[in-house]
Amino acid sequence: MKTKLAVLLGTLLLGCSPKPAARVPGVPAQETVEAATAVYKNGKIYTVDSAHPWAEAVAVKDGRLIAVTTDKEIGRYIGESTKVIDLKGRFVMPGINDLHHHGGDVSLTAVDPARLALPESALETPETIVAAIKVFADAHPELKVIFVEGYPDGMFEGNNGPKELLDQVDKRRPVLVLALGGHSIWGNSVALKVAEVTAKTRDPLYGVIGRKKDSDEPNGTLHESAMGLYWRLVDMPSTENIKAGYVHHTKRINSLGITAVRIAGITQDVLEIVSSMDKEGELNAYHSLAFHWRTSYIAQMAQDYDKIKKQILNSKSFETENVASMALKYYADGAPASKTAYLLKDYENDPGNRGKLQMEEKTFDEEFQFWNKNGVTIMTHVVGDGASRAVLDAVEAAQKSDGDNGLRHHLSHSVMVDPADRPRLAQLGMVVDLSPAVAAPMAFHSAYKHHFGTERHEQFFPGRGLIDAGAKLMVASDFPVGPDNPWMNIETWTTRMNAMGEEPGKLGAANAITLEEALEAATLSGAYGLYMEEEFGSLEVGKRATFLVLDRNPFEIPPADLSEIQVEQTYFNGRLVHERQN
């Protein structure tokens, strides 16, 4: 009887209670809310949250979103000290994540007077490149080595720059020019002599010494692991220059709307410096730092692999709020121009040549198993479909051995992925990027088509095929190999046309993706690839207040105009870190 009375009394009391307020998507169901530090209203906010893709206003407190809602509802979050910003109808979206970036290295060159980054105006011909280098060399008689970055891939047959051209720059000092793609270094005769590379020097394992036609004489260019013979001639950068480079780099990417990157290839000193910068509040973007591992660059550090292995395994101790490690950058194969990309079928008109993996398959499998077992994310450069399959096989074998430990291993570039292998990415819990800016007609693609044939060339960068197969697709510029302006990349991905209008037509039009898919790849999928999808990548209550204000709405302009979008403001963890100067 007492029980029945209690139930009846409870029912009566509930019937007399005030009716709960209707729940607004993204707003806690409560009568009173805490005042926000800042409120942004009257916007067209694309949240990349599939449940609630659009909003008008957001509220921020302690660097996080406490409301993503309507203009009508946002007033609940405005207190006496709340800063209210009128977005004036502008488009807002989450910050962009670039999962393959070398901005630290590029900015290091920009701030280091001992290095030259070739300006775009110098890249028209080999002669204009040589002229620009000579001006730099003559202005720096104190330098023991002239180090330059950025000669275009495909400028020379097989990417082999002739030493005689660089001999015109300097016949006294080594002159070294790193290819834009990072897979070749072009040197002069002095560089070959100091590096002790002669006609008798054999190609190192997984590397190629460029040689003159029908001769063993080195032509001046070293590829892949052979680059280590040149790297030893280059001084390591100073701590001051590394830090200055990352300050420069972070300002650059913030101006483009990039708020998170995976830096592909760092060393222990870079990890320590960048972690220290974050602790001092000097790093206005999230950085996932992937160590160099078995890349040509390691040769510069005396190939002390045991030391580097320990550094990678201990790198978690350097992680901060905005710096992650426990990742490494690996090369499965080489590049199309030098025919070092590893294919399932022979290169066109080159019977018996399928390129090569960067190591024996047995070693490849053993190393993947070791890193997978030890919780290290592997970011692997793959170009050829043979390399893609080799990586997928290695990850599958590692998971069979140790079980699925939740690691999201990263297939980078993925220029060619056989249709049979595409579903395996999702099955193995992997993520994939395509370097979208070059997924369009480009001057160097004529050389690629010659090497691969039209049919295979049209299947380069199979965005549509990968998404349809369930793969988690991410944007990655590979800057400076491709431009890191996200809107150039998104335009290229959605149109498959050259965003600069430099080459006509389309490349692989059947593999174009939609604007919605491209935006998700640039934001939420990228955050997923960084294990940070609960922190950023979409605008949802509880996540970091990391977002962009654009000068136009990408959904309201022609696809061919997407590359013209400008970032008006960039917010990182609730702080304004970039404002466009008109």
pLDDT tens for 280-289 read 999 999 999 9
* CA–CA gap between residue 201 and residue 61 (Å, rounded): 63
Which is nearest to 220 in space by CA: 273, 282, 260, 167?
Answer: 167
Q: Detail the DSSP E strand segments found in 182-285.
A: 184-187, 207-211, 218-224, 258-266
Amino acid at 561: D
pLDDT surpassing 60 at residue 336: yes
pLDDT surpassing 90 at residue 115: no
pLDDT surpassing 70 at residue 437: yes
Written as six digits, the tokens of 116 are 């030259």
pLDDT surpassing 90 at residue 318: yes
Whether the Cβ atoms of residue 289 and residue 327 lie closer than 8 Å to each other: yes
Going by the DSSP 8-state scheme, the letter that residue 63 receives in this structure is T
The pLDDT, as a whole number, for residue 228 is: 84
The pLDDT, as a whole number, for residue 114 is: 85
Q: Which has the minimum average pLDDT: 17-21, 56-60, 400-404, 564-568?
A: 17-21
209 exposure class (CB count in 10 Å sphere: 0-12, 13-18, 19+): buried
CATH architecture of the domain formed by 113-231: Roll (3.10)
Which is nearest to 108 in space by CA: 249, 268, 220, 224?
Answer: 249
CATH architecture of the domain formed by 18-86: Roll (2.30)
pLDDT surpassing 50 at residue 34: yes
Amino acid at 478: D
Mean pLDDT of 160-174: 94
Amino acid at 302: A
The structural domains of the chain, with segments of one domain joined by +, span 18-86, 113-231, 239-536+548-577
| Angstrom distances, CA of residue 434 to CA of 18, 109, 241, 244, 506 | 55, 26, 31, 30, 16
Q: Confidence class of residue 296 from pLDDT cuts 50, 70 and 90?
A: low
The pLDDT, as a whole number, for residue 6 is: 39
Q: Which fold has domain 239-536+548-577?
A: TIM Barrel (3.20.20)
pLDDT surpassing 60 at residue 406: yes
The pLDDT, as a whole number, for residue 387 is: 96
On average, the pLDDT of the chain sits at: 89
Which residues sit opposite 544 in a β-bridge?
64
Q: Confidence class of residue 337 from pLDDT cuts 50, 70 and 90?
A: confident
Mean pLDDT of 556-571: 97
What is the percentage of the chain residues whose pLDDT exceeds 90? 69
Secondary element (H or E) of residue 493? helix 486-495
* CA–CA gap between residue 78 and residue 92 (Å, rounded): 20
Mean pLDDT of 322-345: 91
Which residues sit opposite 286 in a β-bridge?
260
